[in-house]
Amino acid sequence: MSLEISQTDFEKLINGIASRLNDNVFPQLARLCEVDYRLRDTLNPAFPFPKELRIGASSPFLFVEYVGPSVEEDPGFKVSGIELLRAGKEFWDFLGMDISDVKDLKFLSIPSPINNISFLIGDSVDRLCDYFYDFTSVGNDFVLNGLPDFSEIKEPVLLYNVTFLWSDKQGGLKVRHVDFMEIFPANDEGLVYHGNEASFAALMRCIVTLSHQSVPYHREAHCQLNNFIQLVSVEGTSEQEITKFIQEHPTLLQLALGAHDLNPQTELVWQYATTEKDLKPDFMPTRMDGYVDILDFKLPHYKSKPVVGILARRQPSFEIDSAVAQVNQYRRWCEQEVNRKWLKKTKSINVLAPQKIIIGGQSTEFTAEERQIVKNDRDVTFFTYDEFINMVRFQLYRARSR
């Protein structure tokens, strides 16, 4: 069904939805958590009060997204309104997903609720493997190169703990997580949200029921992630402070890489006479095959453009090449058999041709295409901080009770 909605009506709709939820849902969920403390440990991270309520309207659909993590002591939440008009792309516009470059994509009929599912399309599987992602540890179901078809829905659809992973035209990984979302198709009365108390009661039951079925949220780890985000957002934070934080909160890097042993600040002592100083990489995470790689954290923002030169002669900047030279030095130490044997004997660490990984900058200043140039030219994999944080958050929402 198609209809038009004015900006004034849209604003009234937004305010009305937020007000009714604040009257009929959020306080009741908070009281339930007080009565049953176990519920809080399993409740969807967007509840009892969301961090943000995103509301979108198009000609045939109404979208209401509840965004976590919830802050129990702060019942206030941000309300964002997004009016969408692009026919056929409403849902993906609302999520901010551009999937136009994904090939051989299939749209599937999936019954509601759509819960505890990860949709992997494009080159996302390859990118996850770049992150050493351990698919066997994920409690969610996976759908490969298929997406839900929302174009012809006749009844409301609910999404709970759903993640969409895709790749942009440069092959870079993109992640969009949905804590909890409702989609309402227009009916004869127009764009209608929950119409009465019974409908809100049904919404409450659905939230609690689905929460008991899965545990999509680790509060302690998410607190660590929030503190990490604050740390790297503060101007003047040093590499040493970042490395120290990760060393003290290893869960973040373990989640992002799917690695358990991180071997932080391992001293690499040269086993023959040399003028070179002994080395100490930030981390040497252990892969599933038992061998380690080399990982260094750099600053969240680069001082200059990471890739410089004219279009036909693009090359890494001096700042990037300095970071590359450092991990190359670690790699040279690992190339010597006498060093490797010493590392195995004294620290029980296996190393052989480790992958070199650097986390630094932001994707807005160091694009996926530019990082591919560096990877091809310097044999070093670069991940940006926003990618790293997204991968940690992706894993936080994945774990389910067994």
pLDDT tens digits, residue range 102-146? 888 888 888 889 988 889 888 888 777 765 565 655 567 889 889
Pick 295 or 206 by higher pLDDT.
Answer: 295
Rounded to whole angstroms, the Cα distance separating 61 from 311 reads 43
Residue 388 shares a structural domain with residue 260 = yes
Q: Which phi and psi (to 5°) does residue 88 adopt?
A: 85, -15
Q: What angle do CA 380, 386, 387 make, to 5 degrees?
A: 50
Based on the domain organization, do 208 and 277 belong to the same domain?
no
Domain with 390, as residue range(s), is: 222-396
**Per-residue model confidence as pLDDT tens digits over 242-293:** 999 999 999 999 888 888 799 999 999 999 999 999 999 999 999 888 999 9
Task: Looking at the structure, tell me whether residues 193 and 227 fall in a common domain.
Answer: no
User: Does 378 share its domain with 245?
Assistant: yes
First to last CA, the chain: 42
Structural domain count of the chain: 2
Task: Please indicate, yes or no, if residue 337 is contained in any of the structural domains.
Answer: yes
Of 137 and 58, more confident? 58
Cα 374 to Cα 351: distance, rounded to the nearest angstrom: 24
What's the pLDDT score for residue 39? 80
Length of the chain: 402
Task: Tell whether 186 and 252 lie within a shared domain.
Answer: no
Collect all residues with Cβ–Cβ distance below 8 Å to 382 and sequence separation of at least 6.
Answer: 320, 357, 358, 359, 360, 361, 366, 371, 374, 375
